[in-house]
Structure 1
Amino acid sequence: MNPDPGTDPTITTLAERPELALPMWTMPDTWPAFIGHDLCAGIFLRRIWQELPEYAFVATDAAGAVVAKAYSVPFALHAEGRRGALPDGGWDQVLQWAFADRADGVAPDTVSAIEIAVTPGLQGRGLSGRMLAAMRENARARGFGEVVAPVRPSAKHLEPEAPIGEYAFRVRESDGLPHDPWLRVHVRAGGVIEKVAPASMVVAGSLEQWREWTGLPFEKEGPVEVPAALVPVRCEPGHGYAVYVEPNVWVRHAL
């Protein structure tokens, strides 16, 4: 059954609706197949809803179907050795920090967004912005003063050769807001673009794996443009592998 577009979804934390864990986890989304093979995704994503349900969010329509999900993690950005500096390792690094802090009993001081996904067919209706607002409000209610986000710019895949440092700070002449739609949502919500995370996600695999994930031949050495990839994938047929290093854009949200 298609969700009723005229009904505002209800957004709750997974801690409030634990019975939605499996529907949330299996909700259809539009992520490219290769993204799920980032090693940190495989290790940590499931642990968020299992161990940190108060930082996971789920939106349901009038029929009770899950139509959007979001994950965040608390971590110690100002711990010794980090000193408040957002890492070049972006998404991968903040996940590693969050669960290392949790294991070591280090008190968190910041919340990082990890994922916001909307079920296919409902994009462009403001639901991602509402999920971001819920994440911000949850962090504020828990006593945090800042949410940070390693943002995956939603239109960057249309310009894979564009330098991310230029793209991240590109603005529209009409209103000075970011050129990229997802970055624009963050800035409208009060976020400030700070820097690029040049190695935010890393997906490495054999040529056979990349062929399976993308349907492309991966036969020639050099950069390969892959649908939905923000930058080209580097193909090394002489060594039998290809690797994708995805840049993200760090945005700070003061609460």
Structure 2
Amino acid sequence: MDSILITSLAERPSLVSRIYEISETWPAFIPHDPVAGALLGRVAEDFPHYCVVATDGDRVVARGLSVPFGAGLDGREEMPDKGWDQLLVWAFRDRRHEHPPTAAGALEITVDTAYLGRGLSHRMLAALRDAAAGQGHDTLLAPVRPNAKHLHPRVPMAEYIRRRRHDGLPADPWLRVHVKAGGTIEKIAPASMTVGGSLAQWRRWTGLPFDRDGGVDVPGALVPVHCDTAHDHAVYVEPNVWVRHTLGPRSV
């Protein structure tokens, strides 16, 4: 693990074009969120001071993306129900209109599958916290995607996040990383990300028949995908969990 170097992308701009070289396990339908399709690919280039990258020699092994936004502007909730999608929209809208940011919002941490289980996600979260603090923010807000929730798609998120281990920490491993890093679970973002498509599209993305009305359990989905055969579409509305990180002076 000592061979792994983590820095901001502002410090290593040559890696901006390489952060998606990672072997990853995101579900195939996730990139079809239209907000992600329009904006996510611009984050590293437009906000490099808020993004971090890990390398092992010449190999990119993890990325962490966050964005600045104005949390207190009129009509905004600091932690909106539309979570992940809303963070992206606000960040690019504020950049276009030159609104000063008041907080940073974490979008993702992705670790190469060959490097899972080594504690790298903890280090990447610490690096994202430091990056936000280094830009003068005292808050990093994260619409967290609990990484074991897909094993319990029929359990409401409100019930799921109440599950605890014997030591009082969250049962979910990714929520547990955030809490151990000093984060506080605040509320649910019930419509954090939305992916809609025709039934033919969903069949291509998942290999499932999508031939019955109602909820369809899809591998990797945190909740069932709603299928409507009469109208030939299915919609996935993903809930996330807002976690607040209160930041101190940059530690690195």
Q: Same fold (TM over 0.5)?
A: yes
Q: How far apart, in 2, do the equivalents of 1:160 and 1:81 lie?
A: 32
- Relative to the length of structure 2, the TM-score reads 0.95
Written as runs of structure 1 = structure 2, the 5 A alignment for 1:1-255 is 6-61=1-56, 63-82=57-76, 85-172=78-165, 174-255=166-247
Amino acid in structure 2 at the alignment position of 1:86: M
Q: How far apart, in 2, do the equivalents of 1:87 and 1:55 lie?
A: 20
- How many pairs are equivalent? 247
Correspondence for 2:250: none
Given that 1:234 and 1:243 are in contact with CA atoms closer than 8 Å, whether structure 2 keeps it comes out as yes
> What is the CA distance between 1:169 and its match in structure 2?
2.6
Q: How far apart, in 2, do the equivalents of 1:116 and 1:124 lie?
A: 14
Given that 2:179 and 2:185 are in contact with CA atoms closer than 8 Å, whether structure 1 keeps it comes out as yes
Structure 2: state its 5+ residue gaps: 248-252
Given that 1:58 and 1:70 are in contact with CA atoms closer than 8 Å, whether structure 2 keeps it comes out as yes
> What is the CA distance between 1:120 and its match in structure 2?
1.0
Given that 2:226 and 2:234 are in contact with CA atoms closer than 8 Å, whether structure 1 keeps it comes out as yes
Given that 1:78 and 1:109 are in contact with CA atoms closer than 8 Å, whether structure 2 keeps it comes out as yes
Question: What do residues 173-209 of structure 1 show as CA deviations (whole Å, max 9, x unaligned)?
Answer: x210011000000000000000000000000011111
User: How much is the aligned-residue C-alpha RMSD, in angstroms?
Assistant: 1.1
> What is the CA distance between 1:49 and its match in structure 2?
1.3
Q: How far apart, in 2, do the equivalents of 1:26 and 1:241 lie?
A: 32
Between the two proteins, what is the percent identity of the paired residues?
57
Q: How far apart, in 2, do the equivalents of 1:213 and 1:120 lie?
A: 21
Q: How far apart, in 2, do the equivalents of 1:157 and 1:246 lie?
A: 11
> What is the CA distance between 1:240 and its match in structure 2?
0.8
Amino acid in structure 2 at the alignment position of 1:42: G
Question: What do residues 84-115 of structure 1 show as CA deviations (whole Å, max 9, x unaligned)?
Answer: 53100010011111111111111001000001
> What is the CA distance between 1:166 and its match in structure 2?
1.1
Q: How far apart, in 1, do the equivalents of 2:13 and 2:138 lie?
A: 27
Given that 2:222 and 2:239 are in contact with CA atoms closer than 8 Å, whether structure 1 keeps it comes out as yes
Question: What do residues 222-248 of structure 1 show as CA deviations (whole Å, max 9, x unaligned)?
Answer: 110000100000011111110000000
Given that 1:59 and 1:66 are in contact with CA atoms closer than 8 Å, whether structure 2 keeps it comes out as yes
Question: What do residues 33-92 of structure 1 show as CA deviations (whole Å, max 9, x unaligned)?
Answer: 10000011111111111211111211000x21000001000001112222x531000100
Q: Which runs of 4+ in 1 moved over 4 A?
A: none
Q: How far apart, in 1, do the equivalents of 2:120 and 2:39 lie?
A: 25
Given that 1:90 and 1:201 are in contact with CA atoms closer than 8 Å, whether structure 2 keeps it comes out as yes
Q: How far apart, in 2, do the equivalents of 1:180 and 1:41 lie?
A: 25
SS at 1:59 equivalent: strand
Q: How far apart, in 1, do the equivalents of 2:32 and 2:191 lie?
A: 15
Cα gap change, 1:71 to 1:170, in 2 (>3 Å):
same
Structure 1: state its 5+ residue gaps: 1-5
Correspondence for 1:3: none
> What is the CA distance between 1:26 and its match in structure 2?
3.1
Amino acid in structure 2 at the alignment position of 1:137: D
